[in-house]
Chains A and B, each alone.
Chain A
Amino acid sequence: QTQLVESGGGVVQPGTSLRLSCAASGFIFSAYGMHWVRQAPGKGLEWVAGIRYDGSNEYYADSVKARFIVSRDNTKNTLYLQLNRLRVEDTAVYYCARGGEKGFDAWGQGTMVTVSS
């Protein structure tokens, strides 16, 4: 069955970096666009970044543009999110999700990123 498993979260200081990973299984990873969505504690969902199925295009929310980088390795069935110059307001659960014409139809359980001094 389709499975997405995020990892790499943790507690970091403002201004530092972190890399999140999302391991995919149970479907043809290279055929789907993939996305990162975050949720700050007690808040709603915020789309963060997306990448086309072949990695040819990346898309970002204005709030993370020029700080975060989304990438993928289709040989490893893995999606990544490089978080640079982290801010306190980046504190959230980060979900990876599979995208397509049918919306975001598969989600991981999320990984928590806490940015605090």
Chain B
Amino acid sequence: EIVLTQSPGTLSLSPGERATLSCRASQNVFSSYLAWYQQKPGQPPRLLIYGASSRATGIPDRFSGSGSGTDFTLTISRLQPEDFAVYYCQQYGNSPYTFGQGTKLEIK
């Protein structure tokens, strides 16, 4: 099983700042099948990034993903008030399709 470790656990930033979220895998992620999701309270997750760096349909270009192998990053270039939420990474290349434990992005 691939274990995904996200850091930091909580990130406190202000609107307009840049956010950098990390996701480290315990072994190589097959074919860069790494996704990022955003989840707000009481809502299902929303796909932001797939294939490590491709934006999902309708996702603003302030969201970007990078990385390969075992190290991946989600960057939000200029935080908007609606971006404060919990973010999860997931590898979907090999079963079990594991999630990271999440990073909570909160308003400073």
Assembled-state Cα–Cα distance A49/B101 (Å): 18
**Contacts A45-B88, A47-B96, A110-B44: A104 and B35 contacting too (C-beta < 8 A)?**
yes
Give the B interface residue count (CB, 8 A).
26
Encode contact with B along A84-116: 1 for CB under 8 Å, 0 otherwise.
000000000001000101111101111000000
Q: Does A44 lie at the interface of the complex (its beta carbon under 8 Å from any beta carbon of B)?
A: yes
Binds A, one of B17-25, B50-58, B76-84: B50-58
Assembled-state Cα–Cα distance A8/B90 (Å): 26
- Check A102 against B44 for contact (C-beta < 8 Å): no
Q: Does B98 lie at the interface of the complex (its beta carbon under 8 Å from any beta carbon of A)?
A: yes
- Check B90 against A104 for contact (C-beta < 8 Å): yes
Least CB separation from B35: chain A residue: A103
CB-defined contacts of A62 to chain B, threshold 8 Å: 1, 96
**Contacts A103-B35, A103-B47, A107-B45: A44 and B88 contacting too (C-beta < 8 A)?**
yes
Least Cβ distance of A67 to chain B in Å?
Answer: 15
Assembled-state Cα–Cα distance A109/B45 (Å): 9
- Check B96 against A59 for contact (C-beta < 8 Å): yes
Q: Does B92 lie at the interface of the complex (its beta carbon under 8 Å from any beta carbon of A)?
A: yes
Q: Which of B1-18 contact A (CB under 8 A)?
A: 1
20 new A-B pairs (CB below 8 Å) besides A62-B96, A107-B46? A35-B97, A37-B99, A44-B101, A44-B102, A45-B39, A45-B90, A47-B96, A47-B99, A50-B95, A59-B96, A61-B96, A95-B45, A101-B50, A102-B47, A102-B54, A103-B49, A103-B51, A103-B92, A104-B90, A105-B57
B positions within 8 Å CB-CB of A: 1, 33, 35, 37, 39, 44-47, 49-51, 54, 56-57, 88, 90, 92, 95-102
A positions within 8 Å CB-CB of B: 35, 37, 44-47, 50, 59-62, 95, 99, 101-105, 107-110
